[in-house]
Amino acid sequence: MAERAYIGLGSNLDQPEQQIARAVSALQQLPRSRWIAVSPLYGSLPWGDPDQANYVNAVAAINTSLPPRQLLLAMLDIEQAQGRDRSSGRRNGPRTLDLDLLLYGSEVIDEPGLQLPHPRLRERAFVLLPLADLAPELILPGAVPLRSLLRPEFASLCWRLPATRIPN
């Protein structure tokens, strides 16, 4: 049975908008999955480590019958194919591509290397604003309306970018 999965996309290196577009194209090719949509692109201030360029972010929606761990591994392969280097040890540092599995249906998982919903989803404007563009009526696990997590101060942390052609 297919589940709706939401995937966060982010980049601040090597032409970030093109990195996002390539990642969308790769996500559209995932096996046992059907592409739904991608949000508009957003700009955001760097998270955690301010000594880097601003990010370009989006959220994608797919229906998939891949199990969550298998989907996560496919996402890590896409990151690596686009030059993501996790060996620096610099947490929240600059990156060519960051893909985060945000939600997988109503699953709640807490395992090493896989937490759903994403553990920092509720505090990140760069995830919540594009997610609200895709699914404004979404109810998160625990019966939390997405709309209830949106805060006015997000406007200073994350902003919609001018229209860019991302395949939908």
Q: Is 85 a catalytic residue?
A: no
Mean pLDDT score across all residues of the chain: 92
Structure tokens at 13: 């290196």
Q: Which of 100, 110, 122, 133 is catalytic?
A: 100
Q: Is 32 a catalytic residue?
A: no
Contact 163, 40 (CB under 8 A): yes
Q: Is 22 a catalytic residue?
A: no
Q: Which of 14, 32, 86, 98 is catalytic?
A: 98
Backbone angles phi, psi at 60, to 5 degrees: -110, 150
Q: What's the pLDDT band for 168 if we cut at 50, 70, 90?
A: low
Q: Which residues pair with 98 in a beta bridge?
A: 10
Q: What is the pTM of this model?
A: 0.94
pLDDT in tens, 9-27: 999 999 999 999 999 999 9
- The secondary element (H helix, E strand) that includes residue 58 is strand 55-64
pLDDT at position 50 is: 79
pLDDT in tens, 126-148: 999 999 999 999 999 999 999 99
CB count in 10 Å sphere of residue 33 = 18
Instruction: Give the domains, in start order, of the chain with CATH numbers.
Output: 3-160 (3.30.70.560)
